[in-house]
Amino acid sequence: MHDGTRIAILAHEKFPDRAKTAVGLLRYGDHEVVAVLDREIAESDPDARVNDYVSDVQDAPIVGRAADAARFDVLVVGIAPIGGGFDRSWRPDVETAIESGADVWAGLHYFLAEDEGFAAMAEEHGVDIWDVRRPPDDLTVAEGTAGDLDATVVLTVGSDCSTGKMTTTMELFEAARERGWDAGFVPTGQTGAMIAGHGVVVDRVVSDFAAGATEGMVLEAGAENDYVFVEGQGSIVHPAYSAVTCGILHGAMPDAMVLTHEAGREVIHGFESFAIPDPGTLVSLYEDLAGAVHDSSVVGGALNTRGLEPAEASDAVIGYADAIDAPAVDPVRSDADPLLDAVVEAE
Amino acid sequence: MHDGTRIAILAHEKFPDRAKTAVGLLRYGDHEVVAVLDREIAESDPDARVNDYVSDVQDAPIVGRAADAARFDVLVVGIAPIGGGFDRSWRPDVETAIESGADVWAGLHYFLAEDEGFAAMAEEHGVDIWDVRRPPDDLTVAEGTAGDLDATVVLTVGSDCSTGKMTTTMELFEAARERGWDAGFVPTGQTGAMIAGHGVVVDRVVSDFAAGATEGMVLEAGAENDYVFVEGQGSIVHPAYSAVTCGILHGAMPDAMVLTHEAGREVIHGFESFAIPDPGTLVSLYEDLAGAVHDSSVVGGALNTRGLEPAEASDAVIGYADAIDAPAVDPVRSDADPLLDAVVEAE
């Protein structure tokens, strides 16, 4: 069911494995994807389609440039090179999009709206450039009020970065909507924000405002819904990113947490001298830290078992549930329903 | 012993109780303070001096405007109104300073270097404007390396904001220097940065870089010293500011922590619906969270007993030491030596 917005997703030379935002939009977005731009794939196979590379997501042709795509309303820059810069070779695609009257959404450190060429073109053609990582100007410190919401707030937390927090949050949100619940989704990263069509990328916010930015989004979603699913970031045990995690944890004041982990990962990705604590210790850390401002418990676990055979995956999920002493699933392999049951049971 | 820099400190209508930076510089700075500017005090008492209001700090005349001060090298804007704006009525003082060839240091949210009038004057007169709260442009994420330092890193942590972390850090640093230790001081807030003459105000840093900014300063101080005293910020149980606290905790990777608290405070200041956990719980929270990346223990406590009678203060300190199961002092009433002993013992 599409929301009427047609998007093309730029993912040159990175689709699908290094194009997390592109795959996220294909899997969870309400927007209709009319094309994925990957010139490497398109060159080797002019008839390539998304479902040749990723199943279980909406299908779309893979084309080499924006000019070859069907008409779209938004061009999404769905990849980011290390450092977050803008690759000059993408310029013609962005220009084609703007000239055709399409908006541009980008999640780069380099803000396209501050690029003089793009800014002038956007003004001329009356289109908007949304630099998703650019914090709004009206952020402020938290007031400590998210815990007063009537809504049940569920936060995904993790043992590390890239353990499946965004995916788990979306699976929970979709399963809740399928049950007919009034449910809201609070994005805190760029992929989530592009899926939602709004949101603040918390890791780009001044650290004093990390909790406040989260709180503001949670209050907004909580005013309109009975359940609010908040995308977590990083990990409270991450040597570089724990500040972001902590700001989200205390800004959101979740009633329930779902602990995500990737099966077999034992050390922090990219920081291999740092061991990931065992799951039970992580549960205690999150509950104690969250509980300092608002009572919260880890009601379930989401284990990412990609790369495991089905039987191994099943065993891993059972072992993980045992370790955290709560229900666990791989929400991609199976579904998030047992986690929703656990949320309800904890209320 | 002064470092040769003569400073005047602007603190209009707020000296001394609402001028934390001014008092900090008077108490701990190596700079010679030639005047404090407080027009309210100067008007009612033209002969007023700092020591009429605060003892145990360097003395200086209190004057009504910069033009009445003896010659100085730096004008420090030592107060910040709520919101951090620049009060128009301070403009003549800043202009007088720049015209006299003095640099300007300010800790406001409003950056004086971006004020067109001040910027032009500063260029004309060849003076520097240092907006202490403006993060440097070269910050990045942490690499997780502070724990590898040979130096012993000591971080002050707290039960809340304004419990005496900066004061305790300075008392530890001074006591260490008096013992002849090679000791460094890492500021993380504006007062500390002005005392040190350098530093990054971590609460103004993009949250992704909070740990990295701290790490960079700790590595620099640790390369040159055997002991590094890191000023903490906020509290891990603060509903608004815990992200900053957590970034500093994991960026600094302290070997030892000193837990600061204000006697009698039971709830978070300004967030009165949030109870401060008991001291023993706080010790566990800090040790568990720090320990996730680097083994660390709370080796001592610093209790702020201002407002208590001496006998009450003494009892309070004894009770606090008991509650945290470690030596404790009020480092302002007595001294920080027992805490240094505790640091050594824990090595």
pLDDT score recorded for residue A84: 75
Sequence-ordered list of residues with C-beta below 8 angstroms from that of B138, at least 6 positions apart, any chain: none
In the predicted model, what is the mean pLDDT of residues B95-107?
Answer: 97
Of A43, A221, A212, the closest CA to residue A142 belongs to A212
* Residue B247, pLDDT score: 98
Residues B241/B161, Cβ–Cβ less than 8 Å: yes
A292·B240 Cβ contact <8 A: no
Residue B84 has pLDDT above 80, yes or no: no
pLDDT, tens digit (0-9, with 9 covering 90-100), for B223-264: 999 999 999 999 999 999 999 999 999 999 999 999 999 999
Give residue B313's pLDDT.
Answer: 97
Do strands A256-262 and A152-158 pair parallel, antiparallel, or not at all (unpaired)? Answer: parallel
Q: A141 to chain B: which residues are within 8 Å by CB?
A: 240-241
Chain B hits for A208, Cβ within 8 Å: 203-204, 240-241, 243-244
Residues of chain B in contact with residue A219, where contact means CB-CB under 8 angstroms, are none
List pLDDT tens digits, range A304-327: 999 899 999 999 999 999 999 999
B207 and A243 within 8 Å at the Cβ level: the answer is yes
B contact test, residue of A161, A236, A245, A246 with most B CBs within 10 A: A246
pLDDT for res A170: 97
When pLDDT is averaged across residues A57-80 and rounded to a whole number, the result is 96
Percent of chain B at pLDDT exceeding 90: 94
The b/e string for B93-103 (b: 16+ C-beta within 10 A; e otherwise) is bbbbbbebebb
Name the pLDDT band for A24 (thresholds 50, 70, 90): very high
Nearest chain A residue (CA) to B240? A142
A203–B205 C-beta distance less than 8 A: no
Provide the pLDDT confidence category of residue A344 given band limits of 50, 70 and 90. very high
How many CB atoms lie under 10 A from the CB of residue B88?
7
pLDDT at residue A4 above 90? no
* A300: nearest Cα among A170, A154, A186, A187: A154
Residue A147: closest CA among B239, B34, B152, B119 = B239
Token pair 């997703």 in the structure block, residue: A9
Let me know: does B178 contact B247? Beta carbons within 8 Å.
no
List, for residues B128-153, the tens digit of each pLDDT value. 999 999 999 999 999 999 999 999 99
- State how far residue A241 is from chain B, nearest Cα, in angstroms: 6
Beta bridge partners of A9: A36, A76
Chain A residues whose CB is inside 8 A of the B274 CB are 144, 293
Residue of A nearest to B145 (CA): A239
Percent of chain A surpassing pLDDT 90: 94
User: DSSP 3-state assignment of A25?
Assistant: helix
| Cα separations in angstroms, A117 against A68, A85, A95, A98, B161 | 22, 16, 9, 11, 46
Confidence of residue B3 (pLDDT cuts 50, 70, 90): confident
User: CA distances (Å), B20 to each of A280, B17, B198, in order?
Assistant: 43, 7, 18
CA-wise closest residue to A80 among A35, A115, A112: A112
Q: Give the CB-side neighbour count of residue A167, counting CA atoms within 13 A.
A: 27
Q: Taking residues B102-129, report their average pLDDT.
A: 96
Q: In the prediction, which pLDDT does B166 show?
A: 95
Give residue B1's pLDDT band: very low, low, confident or very high (50, 70, 90). low
Chain A contact set for B144 (CB, 8 A): 239-240, 268, 271, 273-274
Digit-coded pLDDT (tens) for B27-51: 999 999 999 999 999 999 999 999 9
Which structure tokens are listed for B270?
Answer: 């300004």
Handedness of CA A14, A15, A20, A26 (dihedral sign): positive
Q: How many helices (H) and strands (E) does chain A have?
A: 11, 14
Q: Vertex B264, ends B262 and B269: CA angle to 5°?
A: 65
Residue B126 falls in which region: left (phi positive, over 0), alpha (psi -120 to 50) or beta: left
pLDDT in tens, B173-222: 999 999 999 999 999 999 999 999 899 999 999 999 999 999 999 999 99
- Tell me if A207 and B247 make a contact (CB, 8 A cut-off): yes
pLDDT 10s digits, A186-234: 999 999 999 999 999 999 999 999 999 999 999 999 999 999 999 999 9
- List the beta bridge partners of residue A229: A154, A185
Task: Write out the residues of chain A at the interface with chain B, using a CB-CB cutoff of 8 A.
Answer: 141-144, 202-208, 210-212, 236-247, 249-250, 253, 268, 271, 273-274, 277, 284-285, 288-289, 292-293
| Encoded amino acid at A159, one letter | S
Per-residue pLDDT for B83 more than 90?
A: no
- Measured distance CA(B38)–CA(B217) in Å, rounded: 34
Cβ atoms B39, B117 nearer than 8 A: no
Q: Which of B244, B273, B289 sits opposite A289 (nearest CB)?
A: B289
Chain B residue closest in CA terms to A248: B243
**Rg of chain B over all Cα atoms, to the nearest angstrom:** 20
End-to-end CA distance of chain B: 31
- Predicted pLDDT of residue A315: 97
Tell me the C-alpha to C-alpha distance, in Å, between residue B66 and each of B46, B85, B91.
14, 20, 10
Q: pLDDT tens for residues A13-22?
A: 999 999 989 9
Sort out which chain B residues have CB atoms less than 8 A from A289's CB and list them.
236, 285, 289
pLDDT in tens, A83-110: 778 999 999 999 999 999 999 999 998 9
Q: Are strands B227-230 and B152-158 parallel, antiparallel or unpaired?
A: parallel
- Which residues from B are below 8 Å from A203, CB to CB? 206-208
The Cα B49–Cα A70 span in angstroms is 76
Residues in chain B: 347
